């Protein structure tokens, strides 16, 4: 397919649903060959089927970002299948337990940190050597507005997303002269299955916290991710970009 990502190879984690699915589909529609990775390979295969039906190129693979060996195998699959890696969207994440810090379980804390923070680190440490071998690349890490502000009952999630911003800045500094740009994205609350643990009145109350008085759409996040991953963003690195209907402007 033609487009700004023609001949580029892109990897999206957690791409079997929600924001990751939208990122994979938008990158493919703009010409990228996309590896659709998810802990649930059936979901990844569904997304790949839809991309191919729309004329795009994609491959599905099961990968659990909480395990470094799984991530290493994932990046090897990408380079073996498509010959290299140009764009990585480290998107996989979970919502986790909802409890105040004083009663948050240690297991719940460990699980969220393992997937949402360690998982992105594992991805970056495998992706960066593959990108260096190619002469450069772009990494977009999926943070949240909760990477810059707190949110009651979500200590582990908020801590992990704040950590992602530091990880992003540091890697950006380390590879700024080697052709690798690293940025992070901060969506407000987006209508995806991640919010399915909330009942309808809670979802409405959360939507009302955004000045635009609605939840965001996955495609609105994907549009920002694709801009950051494109050559149009060639002087952008180390930075954090919100797409939040005004939430953090308040």
**Which range of residues in 47-55, 103-111, 122-130, 192-200 is near ligand NAP by CB under 6 A?**
192-200
Q: Which of 93, 96, 137, 163: binder of ligand NAP (CB under 6 A)? A: 93
Residue 31 binding ligand NAP, by CB under 6 A: no
Q: Return the closest-CA partner of residue 115 out of 90, 98, 140.
A: 90
Q: Which residue has the tokens 């582990």?
A: 156
Q: Is 157 noted as a catalytic residue in this protein?
A: yes
Residue 101 contacts residue 153 (beta carbons within 8 Å):
no
As a whole number of angstroms, the distance between CA 250 and CA 246 comes to 7
Other C-beta atoms within 10 Å of 57: how many? 15
Structure tokens at 65: 């970002």
Residues 95-134 within binding reach of ligand NAP (CB under 6 A): 115, 119
Residue 179 contacts residue 205 (beta carbons within 8 Å):
no
Give me the least distance between CB of 184 and ligand NAP, in Å please. 10
Q: Which of 11, 89, 92, 140: binder of ligand NAP (CB under 6 A)? A: 92
Residue 140 binding ligand NAP, by CB under 6 A: no
Residue closer to ligand NAP by CB (options 20, 245) is 20
Q: How far apart are the first and last CA of the chain?
A: 41
How is the beta sheet containing 240-243 ordered, strand by strand?
57-62, 33-38, 9-13, 87-90, 137-142, 180-187, 240-243
Determine the Cα angle at 42 with ends 41 and 45, to 5°: 85
Give me the least distance between CB of 119 and ligand NAP, in Å please. 6
Give me the least distance between CB of 89 and ligand NAP, in Å please. 10
Q: Which of 26, 79, 184, 192: binder of ligand NAP (CB under 6 A)? A: 192
Residue 187 binding ligand NAP, by CB under 6 A: yes
Residue closer to ligand NAP by CB (options 117, 231) is 117
Is residue 91 packed enough to be buried (19+ CB in 10 Å), middle (13-18) or exposed (0-12)?
Answer: buried
Give me the least distance between CB of 110 and ligand NAP, in Å please. 13
Give me the least distance between CB of 7 and ligand NAP, in Å please. 27
Residue closer to ligand NAP by CB (options 13, 237) is 13
Instruction: Choose, from 104, 157, 175, 247, the residue flagged as catalytic.
Output: 157
Residue 10 binding ligand NAP, by CB under 6 A: no
As a whole number of angstroms, the distance between CA 30 and CA 4 comes to 6
Structure tokens at 77: 């699959």
Residue 13 binding ligand NAP, by CB under 6 A: yes
Show which residues are catalytic.
Answer: 157
Interacting residues toward ligand NAP by CB under 6 A: 13-14, 16-20, 38-40, 43, 63-66, 91-94, 115, 119, 142, 144, 187, 189-190, 192-195
């Amino acid at each position: 397919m033609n487009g700004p990502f023609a001949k580029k190879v892109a990897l999206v984690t957690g791409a079997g649903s929600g924001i990751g699915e939208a990122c994979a589909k938008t990158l493919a529609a703009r010409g990228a060959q996309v590896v659709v990775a998810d802990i649930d390979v059936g979901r990844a295969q569904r997304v790949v089927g839809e991309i191919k039906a729309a004329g795009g190129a994609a491959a599905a693979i099961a990968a659990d970002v909480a395990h470094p060996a799984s991530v290493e195998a994932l990046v090897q699959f990408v380079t073996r299948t498509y010959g290299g890696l140009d764009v990585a969207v480290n998107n996989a994440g979970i919502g986790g337990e909802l409890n105040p810090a004083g009663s948050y379980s240690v297991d719940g804390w460990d699980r969220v940190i393992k997937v949402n923070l360690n998982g992105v680190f594992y991805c970056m440490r495998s992706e960066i050597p593959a990108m260096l071998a190619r002469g450069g690349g772009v990494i977009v890490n999926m943070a949240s507005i909760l990477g810059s502000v707190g949110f009651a009952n979500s200590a582990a999630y908020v801590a992990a997303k704040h950590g992602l911003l530091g990880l992003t800045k540091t890697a950006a500094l380390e590879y700024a002269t080697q052709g690798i740009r690293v940025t992070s994205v901060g969506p407000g609350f987006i209508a995806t299955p991640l919010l399915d643990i909330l009942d309808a009145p809670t979802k409405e109350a959360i939507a009302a916290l955004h000045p635009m008085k609605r939840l965001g759409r996955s495609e609105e996040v994907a549009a920002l991710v694709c801009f950051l991953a494109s050559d149009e963003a060639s002087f952008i690195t180390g930075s954090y970009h919100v797409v939040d209907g005004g939430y953090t402007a308040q």
